[in-house]
Structure 1
């Protein structure tokens, strides 16, 4: 590459607007050769280099004023018309241009003289070789002392390979860098490019480079992203999108108390490259990742991870084993105070051993009725938070409410919210749901409750014309209690008519849970039935109530008329200290257990028995049609509606069956106290609850055979 030494006036030098030091700026735009000398572009380039209040060149200003302009580092240029484009030495040139303006304004420029500006010593490159030019810059700013930011370095390396078809070996040899550094730069730059094309791309800043660099340098993160080193690209786009969200500000729209939507900016979860290593330790633990996302805290995810917890416990136990052996080896030196210390340690170790009696027992304390008379049950509800239900408004509730929708959309969760709402601060209701959710036959494991109570519960509703709110949460108590084996505290608070009712449940791993309340209240009686949940104690209570109130016979009459005319009676009999429902039939010599009959008969018996037991309250029936033949649905749904009217019971039910929905409008019971709700996701993935009145539903079924599922 041929060159000449020349001198030129500072005004004839133009700065390179495509200099690699600019490419990481969000406002950088590539400039074509014919626009390079444009006055506005030159001013913008000068401003880029100078920085605010000349902060980027203060070192050169001080040096030039003290020592003058020393021709130590060459300023390399090439001719562009009657001007000269600076190829190397843009920062020194920009400093001279700034000081030239200061000189003309009569300001102090120290040791610099006018000749330093009018005759700047330069090296003119003849027949410039772009590759050689890049290598020269690389030697100065990648391998040399005047380092660029990492993203600029990576871009130059990438250009040598992509634009000028240089091999990895050639680039490494030319710039004096290792292949490891080269490939890490290429991986990082590629990931940054993918980020820039994402929804968060406008947030990229140079200081994020080390985060991307750490990601592509971490084997666990690369595996999680399904990183392809042949293409330098993440193949798992879903995980990639998650990652980009974690390192970016996100905007969410939330409603305030007045229902006005407000935009909320949430800070990134990951803000430092060191945090990547922490995230990598639990990245393959979905529950820990979910915890991190919900809390927007890496620490929360880290401490929640089973894998990390198991590993730390393993290390701790190994250390205990090792240190105990050391203590044995030197036991001859032990004094009285050492024995006391060992005794204290022994007590702590004893607490690590689970007590087989550590269970959560449902309290025998019954809740008090808030309303002695119920004239109007639930008319509306706002589910602010329950499991995956979030800000779901349900209006137009009537006597019988049918909820339909796809699998796992939240139908059962909606039933559970009404069950909980009816029970105010009665934590027994929460425990009942957790017991059946966790499929516990007897008492509930407190650690299971703690692990699965991930979000607070908040439900607002109107019942009997009165607005009320319940709020349940899991948090550490501030009470002065013995914290040995302490797990967490479940708290419940209900507010209605300017009165608050609160209760708490302290959970322990080594002893039974402790209830704390002054008064447990409920809006009304409530029951919950599902084909997947069998509550024998509840059925026994319901049976005793129905017999005592003389309501049991009409249940048997319905079963006899529409299911099995041979059935004479169903009794609760104590057999070997266990109560069982026994069926007497005219076709059998001896009574047999009700489980010998079909699931349909058992299901109808359970539902109708609980309907009566829920007098002046509500019943939640999950999958009401389960095991019941469609030929019986019209009669059965009519019977359910008749019982609801007779015993003043509000019914919440789910079904997957069109035949069941049709049966409710085709039976001979009036439809004005019937409402159907269709659950579906809108285009943004938000759950909507659309309703049809019973009369409208009947009209649509009869005219167009509508299917609202």
Structure 2
């Protein structure tokens, strides 16, 4: 029996037993399922197959690494003691499974590459005592929930449920310890409650863990919760009629499962296929006619288009029964005001935003480089222009401040109220039109406002020439915000990307869809193959959870994109932007971040080509002289480039303008450093 919390040992591979209740396998073996003997050979074989895959496809990367580089104990395997010389693996089941596969090959006399066979009898582990195991489970949560090696959402939710309901830990303590919000835990428990109801309905056997995000999106929607009459105290829906209807939309019809008339062994389709369908469902939930259309067509997207067409027909006084073919109608529904663009932004004036006061920039061009020393407003300048493109779309402001505050999940509106300025005022000229956006923060004195939960109000006023668009947002604590608007308008398509926004999976999915539609994905893969890794064959979205998987000739099966370097991911993310903002604007903060300087020349040339293909205006900030020089030397012709050095002097920001040709000459002849001096 150990006296201390843990000790280091070297253990033989045969004395390490895989954990059949590992949180990575939570969808295969339920918590609470009693396991008589963890050392049972049948149970161990089953567990190993769950970890490795039937053909070791789940450990391809580790097999390649171990046989090429040997075993590198960067992260020690964590175990608990089963008996005197037997240990249960609580962290490192993939690595142990990989070593077991290679040990079997070694005993058969097969090649194990550069792996030293002595490792099989001297595997370094950390053995935790029973007393310290609970603390370790918290550490495991830090690593796999709020850390760098996150589990899928379903596994995270089940782990949180385990800590609170099995280990009897307090919600607030778990949130504080793991560095997450209490709201995240509450939402996970609500989602699991709804899933429990689904699993006992007639379609329950169809549940799969990658459906978790669909149920989570239902719980996040106030009007869907109201529709199913969500009971917060018991964590269950109480409107059985609407709940059964919702579960039908989430399921494949039993007749479709039994009767495959297509002869292709493919089952029928669910009406709700992913979490984006839930977001669209919210828009049609109050329209029974549209819901019936959705059930007939088995498509949320078609139902949403149907609803839009009906509303438009009514607005232009065309009866649906007149026989007019809507597909031939010249009226097109768009959320952008300016579609045909040739000149984009030519000037901008920031009257009031952060350090900017009456700051004006002119001579804006196709590609605009913003440089300067730290704290001269480069990123804030991109944010201001991004606000202009979003007009009265308050969610654009939310998005920027969410990134500023590095919130991975929901924005903290109490925090937002404390950091957002009392007034933001920005104007400019886009495609020859005068535009402006103004946001004012003010407290309302309305009698029926609950002062205990009310924080403040944000009033957003946007103009394009003589047209005015407004939005008001009331912020609350522990209550859904209230947003009032006639219609949300955007100036043009735009994206704002920072190194932090690489983690926004929903945005990546949207951008990828457009790149596939325009075949831009083929250009991106070709560039990555020729400039980064010649083994790359394709990058695809896969599964309900929509993960990016990379097909590589060195791996038997596709691997998650997060297994590749940050530079690889950044290039992929930035390149996806262009097709999605055709005729619009891209704002790229710190272009060089995570990119090796050897890639900057070719990548700057590539984004210049994409800007030309999709008619996109680019604004780039950079702290790198190599990056700036690469942009000047490789993006289109220098006549399409404008460059600005931002300075902070006498408590105000000023700028120096350089045309592309002028900057190129100064760099060539004087080695000008645009960031701040020769």
TM-score by length of 1: 0.47
Task: Give 1 or 2 for the bigger CA radius of gyration.
Answer: 1
TM-score by length of 2: 0.49
